[in-house]
Copies of this chain bind each other. A is one copy, B any other.
Amino acid sequence: MMAKTTLGIFGLGTVGTGVVALLRDNPQFEIRAIAIRDRHKPRELELANIELTDDPFKLADHPDIEMLVEVAGGIDPAYEVIKRAISNGKHIVTANKELIAKHGPELFALANEHKVTIFFEAAVGGGIPLISTLQRGLQANRIARVAGIVNGTTNYILTKMEREQQSFADALREAQAAGYAEADPTDDVEGRDVVYKISILSSLAFQVPIEVEKIYRQGITQITDLDIKLANEFGYRIKMIGLAQPGEDNEQALDVRVHPMLVPRHHPLASVEGVNNAIFIKGSAVGEIMLYGPGAGRFPTASAVVGDIINIASALKLPDFAQYFQLPIRSEACEIFPIADTTNAYYIRLETHDTPGVIGTLGHAFGEHGVSLHSVTQKGVNSEGTATIVLLTHRVKEKQVQAALTQISAQATTKQIGVVLRVLI
């Protein structure tokens, strides 16, 4: 009989419960101990014969645990627990996007030093095999673009707003009622969750460390159902996108950012609906591929965690196998291409006074800053005399658009700049 691989599991929330459920009947593994916050909370799982502790460091120090599975999330105490476990020679499987995004390079270096490995397929895109594809599937390629819908909450809200002509606030409320958005939805709707995920994906695609706090971020709270409707009329759907590509005219810098985008209707990403995720990758040899599926949830995420556990276990018997999974470490962080220097097409919605010549004034301001307009459409006037004007620009540098908008903000005819969205081109 083969010896079982012994596991310690840190965290028994949604994902942890799924992991334990998938592993229970697998004769290859033995869960030695689980670290949980509250040992007296009733659990839906039978946990007899499993050591329970409220001190996760006990797993990191446990002499009979070969692999630490971290599904607790957050930085404190996961970061210190994992460092301790690595130093004690344990392999790591984690679903922790924030930890890998903020401390990945340091942890990988520590793992290399201790000849152990860190797998984190579950950190992005639930059970969709994104990480392994970027790590090992596309090595023959220079990556030209990674663009992902990697947050189910915002995609659910935007899909709801489109299908049912709902406001952002109503769609958010329904997402919360359906369990797809947290009581405090800030991390999702303001794009912080996507920042962690695109940081991980782009650090693998471009093999550079990335400082997450330098990533430009715009949330979806300003988007109205009118924007979604107008985008549709122009042939686009609005999606929350994490984007990474080499900087234009500066391949050394990485153009990585998180914001809603108008995605052309025929683009593969446009048809991703509800809580599904998808990642679109353009490689120099492979061309354009897309990986699609449920991006979160108990069992999709547990599928990735347990897949990692099985993959490590199948290699455990090999001497020095961790070398094979060594992550290339570059210590200096990658230069991030400034958002002002990026080139995009833009969708701009403005509220103006309904006075003659207002479109001429706008056109003049954009023209002065070299912003070439593709279309200008006035969308009705409300009872207070406010006209909604929607503009689509041609490709232009962000700073030119921002300069034009600064000038327009100061014009007497302008009431408000409603929203500025970029177009995926």
Contacts and interface: CB of A to CB of B under 8 A. Distances in A.
A219 interface: no
Contact of A307 (B127, B140, B287, B321): B140
Given A129-B133, A321-B324, A324-B314, A139 B286 contact: no
A329 interface: no
Given A140-B302, A307-B136, A321-B321, A129 B129 contact: yes
A112 to B, nearest CB: 14
Contacts of A293: 286-290
Contacts of A291: 289-292
Interface in A295-339: 297, 299-300, 302-307, 309-311, 314-315, 317-321, 323-324
A292 B321 contact: no
A318 B307 contact: no
A177 interface: no
Interface in A61-102: none
Contacts of A284: 299
B317 A318 contact: no
A271 B305 CA distance: 30
A126 B319 contact: no
Contacts of A323: 317-318
A141 B303 contact: yes
Q: Assembly of this chain: how many copies?
A: 2
A137 B307 contact: yes
Contact of A127 (B136, B283, B303, B310): B283
Chain A interface bracket (under 10, 10 to 19, 20 to 34, 35 or more): 35 or more
A318 B321 CA distance: 7
A251 B132 CA distance: 30
A22 B283 CA distance: 13
A22 B300 contact: no
Interface string A112-138: 000000000100001111001100111
Interface of A: 18, 22, 121, 126-129, 132-133, 136-141, 268, 271, 283-294, 297, 299-300, 302-307, 309-311, 314-315, 317-321, 323-324
22 contacts: A121-B137, A126-B286, A127-B138, A127-B286, A128-B286, A132-B132, A132-B136, A136-B311, A140-B305, A140-B307, A141-B303, A268-B292, A283-B303, A285-B300, A286-B299, A286-B303, A289-B291, A289-B293, A289-B294, A290-B292, A290-B293, A317-B323
Given A127-B286, A140-B305, 4 more contacts: A136-B311, A285-B303, A285-B306, A287-B293
